[in-house]
Amino acid sequence: MRCNMRIIPAIDIIDGKCVRLTKGDYNTKKVYNENPLEVAKVFEDFGIQYLHLVDLDGAKAKHIVNYKVLELIASKTNLKIDFGGGLKSNEDLNIAFNSGARQITGGSIAVNDKETFQSWLDKYGPQKIILGADSNDGKIAINGWQDDSKEEVISFIKNYQKQSIQYVICTDISKDGMLQGPSIELYKTIIASCSNSNANQSIKLIASGGVSSVDDLHELKEIGCEGVIIGKALYENRISLKDLDRLL
């Protein structure tokens, strides 16, 4: 049976290279390929349509850094790219969209500068703006996961849902890069809580972190996730592109 949940491989960028971290710790950096375009083309060749591209340098620097990588992948493939990491200003946002992003993800700014983030949502609409809700022990983590905020994950998402947000990427940081399975209970709670909200519609929840097998993908689909981001499981061959090809 074909999967109608979107499969979204991740490419994380440091110094222009394709890397992975564990639990967001920059000291755990592992370089998988020095040419992110090459990786993106392999994904596209296997029928992948979507790409989650993260500017880890930007997340740390608090402004967009690796937009040239975005521009290259967007111009050389037909992948539909959502881009995040360090987007803190209108200028950052313009650079991201002008470089080829189909959607952008805002996390820290949605905590620290709600007025600006809301203005992006109002201007570009909920199809273009994704809420990044990265969870550390139930609280939203910000600034490339270097800091914790006081925002509770569920209330944070529900508040923006009332402001018309549709797409939400939620990463359980404790699961990220661990290959020990995703945070199923957290996602169930989010989906149930936001389905009962007074907002006009349910959110489209994109799960991220911990995916280690095809069984994880089926479970995320069953609980109602709209999409799933896969990173280390692909790079470490725990899930093959042929596995994904059978699901697409």
Q: Are 152 and 160 in contact (CB under 8 A)?
A: no
Alpha-carbon gap, residue 8 to 170, rounded angstroms: 13
- CA Rg value for the chain: 16
- Other residues' Cβ atoms within 10 Å of the Cβ of residue 70: 25
Q: What is the dihedral of CA 181, 48, 36, 81, to 10 degrees?
A: -90
- Other residues' Cβ atoms within 10 Å of the Cβ of residue 122: 12
12 catalytic, yes or no? yes
Q: Which of 12, 82, 172, 176 is catalytic?
A: 12
Q: Which of 55, 57, 92, 134 is catalytic?
A: 134
Q: Which positions are annotated as active-site residues? A: 12, 134
